[in-house]
């Protein structure tokens, strides 16, 4: 069975162009999401579409960006389709995983996505390393200043309960404990 999926990002966009192209391409059933950004993970039409796909089916989309939020998501979806025996077709980019040429194009995309992931990881590590060298701490801003931590230690050493000190500093007891242990 040929199944289509269409998505428009905003309410003032209309899916008719995509729906017409999918019907013309032979889609017997078409799922759609309207007014939902591709960056949104929760797309009810896509969820229903993916659940309906069975071995031997082919999913068609008007354009690649209608289906996936990123190249990584697209590669992951197509790999899952392959495992389940589902073919994929993008009308605009003319990618069809049922043909050798379409498979080649997809594998090139997958290699590019893997390369991109590697570059992102490498840049992130280098950026974190440079930031640490400049004395910048990564992560969330600390809830307690160094002065507050020193004051908390003095109070605890003088016999105050940790819960009382945490209440005084307006943090949870676990936050106080984590801060005292880590510094």
Query: What residues are paired with 24 via a beta bridge?
Result: none
Catalytic residue among 9, 10, 37, 90: 9
Q: Residue 133, exposed/middle/buried by CB under 10 A (0-12, 13-18, 19+)?
A: exposed
Question: Cβ(15)–Cβ(8) under 8 Å?
Answer: yes
CA angle 106, 64, 41 (to 5 degrees): 110
Instruction: List, in sequence order, the alpha helices (H) in 8-161.
Output: 16-24, 44-52, 71-84, 100-133, 146-157
Question: Is 174 considered catalytic here?
Answer: no
CA distance 96 to 91: 8
Across the chain, which distance is largest between two alpha carbons, in Å? 80
Rounded (10°) CA dihedral 17, 54, 97, 107: 110
Annotated catalytic residues are: 9
């Amino acid at each position: 069975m040929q199944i289509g999926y269409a998505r428009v990002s905003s309410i003032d966009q209309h899916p008719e162009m995509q729906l017409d192209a999918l019907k013309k391409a032979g889609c017997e059933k078409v799922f759609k999401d309207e007014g939902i950004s591709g960056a949104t993970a929760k797309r009810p039409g896509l969820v229903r579409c993916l659940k309906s796909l069975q071995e031997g089916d082919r999913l068609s989309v008007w354009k690649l960006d209608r289906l996936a939020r990123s190249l990584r998501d697209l590669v992951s979806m197509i790999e899952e389709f392959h495992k389940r025996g589902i073919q994929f077709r993008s009308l605009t980019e003319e990618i069809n995983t049922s043909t050798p040429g379409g498979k080649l194009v997809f594998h090139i995309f997958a290699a590019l996505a893997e390369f991109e992931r590697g570059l992102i990881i490498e840049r992130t590590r280098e950026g974190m390393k440079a930031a640490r060298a400049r004395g910048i701490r990564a992560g969330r801003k600390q809830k307690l200043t160094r002065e507050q931590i020193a004051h908390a230690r003095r109070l605890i050493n003088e016999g105050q309960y940790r819960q009382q000190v945490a209440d005084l500093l307006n943090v949870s007891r676990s936050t106080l404990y984590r801060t005292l242990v880590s510094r």
